[in-house]
Each structure stands twice: as structure tokens, then as C-alpha cells.
Chains A and B, each alone.
Chain A
Amino acid sequence: MKPRREFGNPYEVETPPGADGWETMYPSHMIFGQELRNRDEGKLWFFDQMHNPEPVYPFDLIMPESWLVSLNQYTTRVWNLPTALGIEQRIVNGYLYLSPNVIDDPEQMAVNQPIFQERARYYFENWDRIYDRWVQKATDCIGRLKEMHFEPLPEREPLETVLSAAGTTSSFQLLTAYSRLLENMHEMAYYHFELLNLAYGAYLTMLEFCKAQFPAITDDLVARMVAGIDVILYRPDAELRRLAQRAVELGVADAFGGDQSPDAVLESLSASAAGKEWIEDLEQVKDPWFYYSTGAGYCHANRPWIEDMRPPFAAISDYIARVQRGEDLRRPLEHLQAERERIANGYRALLSDEDAPVFDSLISLSRQVFPFVENHNFYVEHWHHTMFFGKVRELGAVLVAGGLLERDDDIFFLHRYEVYSLLYELQINWSLGPGVPTRGETTWRREIDRRRRLYDALAAWSPPPALGVPPERVTEPITVTLFGINNETVQRWLAAEGADGSDDRLEGLAASPGVAEGRARVVRSVEELDALVDGEILVCPLTAPSWSIVFARIAGAVSDGGGIMSHAAIVSREYGLPAVVATGAGTKLLRTGDLIRVDGDAGTVDIVERAGPRPAGGTPVEVGA
């Protein structure tokens, strides 16, 4: 195996069979174009597996596009970061690739420095006050989103329009409401990054200081020193534990036995007074704590618990079994707190008298800003974004009622500005009056069918972790902290590109300590989780934090992507599971049934025993499913 110097050329990526014309689903600025070929093929483009492991649905592109705008504006126009320009995006065969840009002209850096320092200092020095305001702004934004409703256009304009002399009609209000929906999303995207870059900057500085002092310190240990103990990101899971405990106390635990659907469980609960009491308790906490998604939050397919009760009910059922075995499910907050202090004090004691105060100052600021990093994830990705996608689905139902779409989910095959065209067309049709035939009833459905076939063809493709030519060193701070891409990652990917699967070791980032041995279960989507057997090791493109049903049953986790501060890594530590992330090609090189050993301290995955002979065609075969 010989490590290579560059990745595949982004302009020479083959289109998967059946996916010709996939580019038509996306705006041209997202596609590699010949105008920029000389420049673009010489840059590093890495696959954003952490946030978008699947091909991006055209509507869902609002997520990357809105973060591109808000994140980059904070970098380039608000903070004026001296070293970085904006991160670019391109779509390749449906998958999102990103490329950082740096400022390397010393003069430009010098111009930006005082501007940046004045502005960023203001935020750091007023952090607590600004964070309090942030929570208000985010909650207010979510509140306005919650009040938005999309209903099918009425048969006739209500009498109220006349009596109030409103002047405009339901179809006009539908279009303006849609604009407000998009604005609401863009507004939240700004809040997402208002504090995040600075918070990660604090963490990065802390991390680098620790690594300079203790070259062998793992990212995981630094994270454990600064991580918040009682943060709201853990609240949804805490509610499930509490509800399980309550079901046992009320004597209604039996309702959760077997493989019943949530509806069946609720029906049997509602037959008794105690069961009704439990349901009432559930209703109390559902909003907001069940706005919690089964994914990174950037895809509409990641439905929140409040819309799909199967994941939380499965977790409750598992927790009930643990309560009945006599386990105490409450998180040992005091123990976690003591452990955090023990690690920090242990490292501090090894520092010189000169370095210890620097460490104190950095850890104290990191702990001040870090609750934001953890909590924003609940406010933004879970609470707001899952609710947003729910509203879009309501809008899809409006288009179904108007005869333009077949199913409410079809709306996600359209870019948000195409949806505006569609809504305008709906308005035209509605204006003509009942019974007038229109073209849109067939053209849009045909287009959706075409896109669905393209999407399925793209979903079968395995995107390489990166394309183009890596820079000598990856230094851009947002790429390093937020996306977890650094020199080591790039080297590992280059090595994996040359690998043929004959190696019996994969290397990744040590994300959560411990060692586990077990059979691999390769899972590429939430649907495939059903096949998982207790005690197996989850091997997936991305360890999604809220696959909580799974975390209670697996022995360890391995993911292709993810950084040490990815949601995945944080939650693996929370569950005490050994985890190795950012292996690059775990789902490609490991097969279900392989006996593997995950070393969450060393960041390695060893293949102890292959499940069976490697198929001649090179296509992974599922064994022992």
C-alpha cells in the first residue's frame, strides 16, 4: 500500500449508472464548471459526511446554502478573521463537498487583525450576557416558526376576507407565508454561527495548548475536561429515562412489552387511569424535548421523535428493562463532575508554575463557552430544523391538495426557488376557478419521478472522502474544529485510497475510550438498524447521536466520518462506549459479520477475523444478517 499525494480529480468523477442529468436538480453555483476548472481541480474538496452522509435532496440544500451564507459572513464580513475566507461548496453526484479558503497574504492579515480583535474581544468579554440574549433570540425564532401553518387553498375565499376588506386572498398569503418560512430558516442559520466560530476558537486554542504540553493527550481527554455536565442537549434522553422510571412506578410497564407500535402502546395505556397519567406526563414533555431527530438534523428524512415515536418508545422499553433489573438510570452528575475535575487537576499538576495559570485561564474560558457548543445543537439542529422540515411537509400537503404533487414528501425533490414557481402555478390554477385543466398536474409529477430515479441511482454511489489536491497543511480553523479535517485526517484518507481492503487495521480518531470486540454490523441508514443484534459493533458512515435505541445495545461504534466534537463522539462518551470516528472507509473495508476490535483509546479498529472470503467482484456482501 502506497500513500498517494492527491485525491481523484473532481472533474473526472464518473456519473453512476442511471444518474445522467443529476446536475439539473441543483443550482449551477453548486456544480463544478469549466470556467473555474484550472483553479478548482487543484484544491482540496472534502466530503461533508458529518452533516450530509446521503445525497442532498434539492430542497434540503437550503441547509448547506444557508450555513454557507451565515458561517462565511461571520468569517469574512463580521469578524474579519485574519486567516480565513469563506468555505466553498460543490455537489458531486448528489453529495456535498467543501473546500476551505485561507488568507496567506501577510498584508491582508495585518489589515484584518485589529478589526477582528476588537470585534471578537467584545463577544468574549460579554459572553454570558450575549449568550442569554442568544437563547431569547433563538427561542423567539422557533416560536414564530411554530405559529406558521400551511393549509390547502379553500374552495372559496372565506367571507371574512370580504367583511374585513382585507384586499388580498389566501393564495397571496400562502406565498408570503412561504417567504417568511424561508426567512425564518435563514435567520436561524445566523444564530447558529453567531457564537459558534468563537466558541470553537476557544476550544482550538485550549486543544493546541494541551497538545503542545502533552503530545500524547487525546482530543477526547481535552473534551472531557471542558464538556458541560448538565447541558440541555442531554435532556431528551434524560426525559426518556424518567418516563421509563415513571412507567414502572405507575405499574404500566407491561404495556411496552414486545414489538408493539407506539400507537398500540398508547392505546393499551389509555385503557387504565394509571396509563392515562403516564400519557399526560408524556404530553407535558413532548414539546420541546421530542423535537429531537434521528440524524444530524440537515435532512428532512431525519424525523423528530415528536413525528415518529418509534425510536423514543423503543428506548423507553429498553430503559424499563434496565429499571426492572434494578439499575439506577439517573445520570451520575456528581460523579461526572468529579471525574472532569480529576482529569483537569491531574494535567494541571504536571505543568510548570509558568504554564499552570495559562491552563487555568484557558480551561475556565472554554468551560464558559462550551455549554453553547453543546446546547446550540438542541436549539438549532433538533428543535428548530426538525420543526422547519415539518412545516415544509405541510406545504407539500398543500401542493398535493392542489393536484401538483402526488405525496407531501415530493416537495423535497424541488429546490426551494422551484417550490416558489410551483406555488405560483398553484395560485394560477386556483385563480382560473374549479374544473379548468392545467399542464402542471402532469409536468411536475413527471419531473418528480425523474428526480426520484436519479436520487436512487446517486444513493447507491459511494462518495470518496475527498477530491482534488490537499494543501501542505490544513490550518483553516473552521475546517479543523467544525469539520474535524486536519493533516492527519488527510493523510489517513490518502492511505485509505491506496488500500485494497487486505489490511487488517483501520485508523481513525479516538473518540471515546475503552476497548470492545464483537461482530461488525454495517449500517448505512436508520432503516437498517433493525437488523442489528445485541453486542454487535455499529459500523456506519456517521454515528448519529440520537440512535439511542442502538447505543444501549451495541458494544462499540466505528464511523467513516465525524470529528472529536461531532455529535457522535460526544454522545458515545456519554454512553460510555468505545468509539473510533473518521476512519474514512470503515463501511467500505469492513463487512457485517467481521470480528473486529475497536480501541477507543488508540483510535484503531483491528479485523480479528473476516466473516468470509472476499467476493471476487469487490462488492461488499452482507453476511450473517
Chain B
Amino acid sequence: MSQLHVAAPASKAVPLVQATVDCYPEQVAEVGGKAVGLGRLLRAGQPVPASFTVTAAAYRQFVAGGADEVPAAVIEAIAEGYAELCERRRATIPVAVRSSASVEDSDEASCAGQFKTFLGARGVAQVVGEIRACWLSAFDPHVDAYRAERSGAAGDAQVAVVVQELVDARAAGVMFTQHPRSGDRSLVVIEASYGLGEAVVGGEVVPDLFEINKITRQVVKRSMGQKSHEYRLHTDGDQVERREVDAARASRWAIDDGHVAALAEMAAELESALGPGLDTEWALGSVAGSADEASLFALQVRPITTDPRARLGPPGTTAAAAAARPPAAASAVDLILGRLSGPGPALP
């Protein structure tokens, strides 16, 4: 059984701000899907940028107070969380402020990109300001419409927010631990482009594509994307800017084979910790403000929502496999005789 749904050790009242490693699936209403995903990654021992989660309890206090000024108790809790992040790096670091709504990243639907993300906030005042803006984006009418269509739960989203060390990504993208369309479980599919992952997630660029066979670890398919631009941290580290990618750089692969292999390894580790069928976001870079070499980070993990298996019911069922599935107890001889008795599926 998938370990995506493993229960938390014990349930308790959710505080205004919570360590992300303690965010468990059954708290999804309070901490949101993104925090749940990061919690999974952290507990699976993956390299994840440090973060804390501002829970829906904080959002409710904000709304109860008229959705204008952020209550002092909430500011205090946020300041504490931010101070811890800065303490680890011994600097006033820029962070990414990402919404983690209860309906986002659920197993049924991925609302990825429907809520706003704010990159590059630095200092308590900016961080609180961005969190406030994130909450307000929940009132954005087109998010409501999307939510209504998916779940009928319009208007009552509980917006939690993840505040995360910003990775100065020189390349980033998404990774599926099985083919998102065919459902082929022997493939890892990686999409990669230059800069922060927003250009890929937002569909602004055509990323480079790599398909890796999990068993042989060979790259079985690669196609060059059209990486027209990228989002990078401004040299000050507190602003994100859009840069054009020149033709020579655009015609090179966004990541080298070593990183492709390392990502495939990450996919294998994630599947063994969390079960099959994962959709992840990743970045290659260093944490802003640190002097570390660029390395790989996992930024998000959730079940693949376009998996044909999900539509078909029982796990491990692709459309083609379901059609070709023989009776459970059939022997190989019966299968072969059956196959040769009818026209069968022509190859391929």
C-alpha cells in the first residue's frame, strides 16, 4: 500500500506556525498539500530547502480580524520561524512564500499554479507582507472558479503558507516517477529548464525532456526544449528577474547526464519511501546567501493526478494493461493458446 497516506504519530491542535517536517497528510486541511508533500520529502531523507509552515489557523485569525491587518500573534509566530531559518545560515536570507491550500496537491486534483507564489522576500516585514498577499490571492475569482469545478468546495479554502529558503536555481523542473500519460512505471520522466522552476511549472517555456529506464538507468529518450527565458535571483538576492536565454545557451541541455542520473536516483528513493506514481518538483542550485556548491533539491512531491490508473481504479492498472489483463489464474500455456486463438493486439 502507498505510504503517501501514513498517519502522523499523534494528532494534536495545530499551532499558527509549524515545522514542515511535522506536517502529515491528515493535517492537510490545516497545513495544506504543499506542506504535506514537503513533510514527506523531509521524512524520506531527501535534500529539501529548510522551511516552516504558516497554518490555516493563522489564516483564520487574519480573516476573523477583517482580512486587513495581520494579527500581532501571527506576526510573532512568523518572525520566530523566519529567525530560525536565518539562524541556520547566519544571514538575513531571501525566502519563497508559497500558498499551501487545503485543496491544492490533493490526490484528486493538482491546482498547481492556481495560487500565487512570491519569491525573494527578505526580512520579517517583507515576509509577512508576502504571506498576507498570498492569503488575499485566495479571494481571486479565477481560483474560486477552478476550485468549484474540481470539488464544489468553492470559497471556503483554508490557505496555509510555506515559507522556504529560496534556492538560487540555475536549473529546475519537474519529475514524474512514471510516465504521466501512458502510466508506464518503468520510466522516470524529467523536464528541465534554466533558472527557477516557475518557468516550467507555469508552462512558459518548453523544457528539455529526459526519459530514463528505471531498470537499466539508461536515458531512453531526450528532446531539446525551447528555453527562451529564465527566472533568476537578482544579484542582491531579494528580487527575481526574468532574463532572456541566448541562442547558444538555449541549444545546450539544461542539466548534464550526471544530474539526470542523480534525479533518477532520487526518484527511486522517493518511490521506495512513498510508493509509486509521484509528481515532484526539483531544483539544481544553492540556497541563496550560502556559499555551497550547486546541488539538487526536492521542492515538492505529490501523487500524479493525470495517472490513467487513477481513472481506472485499482492501482497498477494502465488502460492497455487492463484491456490485456488475463484471467488471474491463467497459466502461460493458456495465455499463449488464447493469444494465438484470436487476432490479438497487433504490435506495437
Interface residues, chain A, with chain B CB atoms under 8 Å away: 81-83, 102, 104, 109, 113, 116-117, 120-121, 124-125, 198, 201-202, 204-205, 207-209, 211-218, 221, 342-343, 346-347, 350-355, 358, 361-362, 364-366, 473-475, 477, 480, 486-488, 513, 601-602
- Flag whether B320 is at the interface (Cβ < 8 A): yes
The 9 closest A-B pairs by CB, nearest first: A352-B316, A346-B215, A212-B324, A365-B332, A361-B332, A215-B182, A350-B185, A205-B339, A473-B346
A304 to B273 Cα, complex, angstroms: 57
- Flag whether B132 is at the interface (Cβ < 8 A): no
The residues of A that contact B323 with a CB separation of less than 8 Å are: 212
Cβ contact within 8 Å between B333 and A215: no
A350's partner among B182, B186, B218 (CB-CB below 8 A) is: B186
The residues of B that contact A205 with a CB separation of less than 8 Å are: 332, 335-336, 339-340
The residues of B that contact A81 with a CB separation of less than 8 Å are: 340
The residues of A that contact B321 with a CB separation of less than 8 Å are: 212-213, 355
- Which residue, B183, B335, B336, has most C-beta atoms of chain A within 10 A? B336
A477 to B306 Cα, complex, angstroms: 34
The residues of A that contact B325 with a CB separation of less than 8 Å are: 212, 354-355
The residues of B that contact A488 with a CB separation of less than 8 Å are: 347-348
The residues of B that contact A487 with a CB separation of less than 8 Å are: 346-348
A211 to B323 Cα, complex, angstroms: 12
The residues of A that contact B182 with a CB separation of less than 8 Å are: 215-216
- Flag whether B9 is at the interface (Cβ < 8 A): no
Q: List 7 A-B contacts (CB under 8 A).
A: A117-B341, A201-B336, A215-B183, A221-B213, A350-B214, A362-B335, A474-B346
Cβ contact within 8 Å between B347 and A480: yes
The residues of B that contact A601 with a CB separation of less than 8 Å are: 218-220
A169 to B128 Cα, complex, angstroms: 113
The chain B residue with its CB closest to the CB of A480 is B347
Known: A83-B341, A477-B340, A486-B348. 20 other contacts (CB 8 A): A82-B340, A202-B336, A208-B344, A214-B187, A218-B220, A221-B215, A343-B215, A346-B186, A346-B215, A346-B216, A347-B186, A350-B276, A354-B325, A358-B330, A361-B335, A366-B332, A475-B343, A480-B346, A513-B216, A602-B220
- Flag whether B238 is at the interface (Cβ < 8 A): no
Cβ contact within 8 Å between A221 and B347: no
A81 to B341 Cα, complex, angstroms: 7
A351 to B339 Cα, complex, angstroms: 21
- Flag whether B66 is at the interface (Cβ < 8 A): no
A343's partner among B184, B185, B216, B324 (CB-CB below 8 A) is: B216
Cβ contact within 8 Å between B347 and A116: no
- Flag whether B147 is at the interface (Cβ < 8 A): no
Cβ contact within 8 Å between B332 and A214: no
Cβ contact within 8 Å between B316 and A342: no
- Flag whether B342 is at the interface (Cβ < 8 A): yes
Min CB gap B176→A, angstroms: 13
A120's partner among B184, B316, B317, B340 (CB-CB below 8 A) is: B340
Cβ contact within 8 Å between B342 and A82: yes
The chain B residue with its CB closest to the CB of A102 is B343
- Flag whether B10 is at the interface (Cβ < 8 A): no
B340's partner among A104, A201, A343 (CB-CB below 8 A) is: A201
- Flag whether B64 is at the interface (Cβ < 8 A): no
The chain B residue with its CB closest to the CB of A474 is B346
Within 8 A of A (CB), among B205-219: 211, 213-216, 218-219
Cβ contact within 8 Å between B220 and A475: no
- Flag whether B221 is at the interface (Cβ < 8 A): yes
Cβ contact within 8 Å between B320 and A215: yes
The residues of A that contact B183 with a CB separation of less than 8 Å are: 215
The residues of A that contact B345 with a CB separation of less than 8 Å are: 208, 212
The residues of B that contact A475 with a CB separation of less than 8 Å are: 343-344, 346
The chain A residue with its CB closest to the CB of B220 is A601
Cβ contact within 8 Å between B341 and A109: yes
The chain A residue with its CB closest to the CB of B186 is A214
A487 to B220 Cα, complex, angstroms: 22
A27 to B320 Cα, complex, angstroms: 46
Chain B 35-55 against A: per-residue CB contact (8 Å), 1 yes, 0 no?
000000000000000000000
- Flag whether B318 is at the interface (Cβ < 8 A): yes
Min CB gap B315→A, angstroms: 7
- Which residue, B220, B315, B323, has most C-beta atoms of chain A within 10 A? B220
The residues of B that contact A351 with a CB separation of less than 8 Å are: 316
Within 8 A of A (CB), among B99-134: none
What secondary structure prevails in chain B residues at the interface with A? loop
A213 to B326 Cα, complex, angstroms: 12
A121 to B218 Cα, complex, angstroms: 39
A352 to B347 Cα, complex, angstroms: 23
The residues of B that contact A124 with a CB separation of less than 8 Å are: 333, 336-337
The residues of B that contact A364 with a CB separation of less than 8 Å are: 332
- If A205-B336, A212-B320 touch, whether A486 touches B185 (CB-CB below 8 Å) is no
- Flag whether B152 is at the interface (Cβ < 8 A): no
Min CB gap B64→A, angstroms: 48
- Flag whether B232 is at the interface (Cβ < 8 A): no
Min CB gap A297→B, angstroms: 26
Chain B 212-236 against A: per-residue CB contact (8 Å), 1 yes, 0 no?
0111101111000000000000000
Min CB gap B223→A, angstroms: 10
A218 to B318 Cα, complex, angstroms: 18
A452 to B137 Cα, complex, angstroms: 85
Chain B 170-209 against A: per-residue CB contact (8 Å), 1 yes, 0 no?
0000000001001111110000000000000000000000
Cβ contact within 8 Å between A214 and B184: yes
Cβ contact within 8 Å between A216 and B184: yes
Cβ contact within 8 Å between B340 and A83: yes
A214 to B184 Cα, complex, angstroms: 5
A486's partner among B276, B336, B343, B346 (CB-CB below 8 A) is: B346
- Which residue, B182, B315, B326, has most C-beta atoms of chain A within 10 A? B326
- Flag whether B331 is at the interface (Cβ < 8 A): yes
A354's partner among B214, B219, B328, B335 (CB-CB below 8 A) is: B328
Cβ contact within 8 Å between B335 and A204: no
A109's partner among B216, B221, B342 (CB-CB below 8 A) is: B342
Min CB gap A495→B, angstroms: 15
The residues of B that contact A198 with a CB separation of less than 8 Å are: 336
- Flag whether B258 is at the interface (Cβ < 8 A): no
Cβ contact within 8 Å between B347 and A208: yes
B186's partner among A216, A473, A477 (CB-CB below 8 A) is: A216
Cβ contact within 8 Å between B318 and A212: yes
A384 to B323 Cα, complex, angstroms: 44
The residues of A that contact B342 with a CB separation of less than 8 Å are: 82-83, 109
The chain B residue with its CB closest to the CB of A103 is B343
- If A120-B340, A201-B339, A205-B339 touch, whether A215 touches B184 (CB-CB below 8 Å) is yes
Cβ contact within 8 Å between A208 and B324: yes
The chain B residue with its CB closest to the CB of A361 is B332
The residues of B that contact A473 with a CB separation of less than 8 Å are: 346
A351 to B178 Cα, complex, angstroms: 13
A488 to B318 Cα, complex, angstroms: 22
Min CB gap A511→B, angstroms: 14
A10 to B215 Cα, complex, angstroms: 46
The chain B residue with its CB closest to the CB of A84 is B340
Cβ contact within 8 Å between B341 and A342: no
The residues of B that contact A474 with a CB separation of less than 8 Å are: 346
A113 to B346 Cα, complex, angstroms: 19
A601 to B215 Cα, complex, angstroms: 14
Within 8 A of A (CB), among B270-318: 276, 314-318
- If A351-B316, A352-B314, A352-B315 touch, whether A216 touches B339 (CB-CB below 8 Å) is no
The residues of B that contact A477 with a CB separation of less than 8 Å are: 340, 344
The chain B residue with its CB closest to the CB of A350 is B185
A366 to B292 Cα, complex, angstroms: 52
- If A212-B321, A355-B316 touch, whether A204 touches B339 (CB-CB below 8 Å) is yes
- If A208-B344, A343-B216, A355-B316 touch, whether A602 touches B221 (CB-CB below 8 Å) is yes
The residues of B that contact A121 with a CB separation of less than 8 Å are: 333, 337
B332's partner among A202, A207, A355 (CB-CB below 8 A) is: A202
The residues of A that contact B343 with a CB separation of less than 8 Å are: 83, 102, 104, 475
A480 to B348 Cα, complex, angstroms: 10
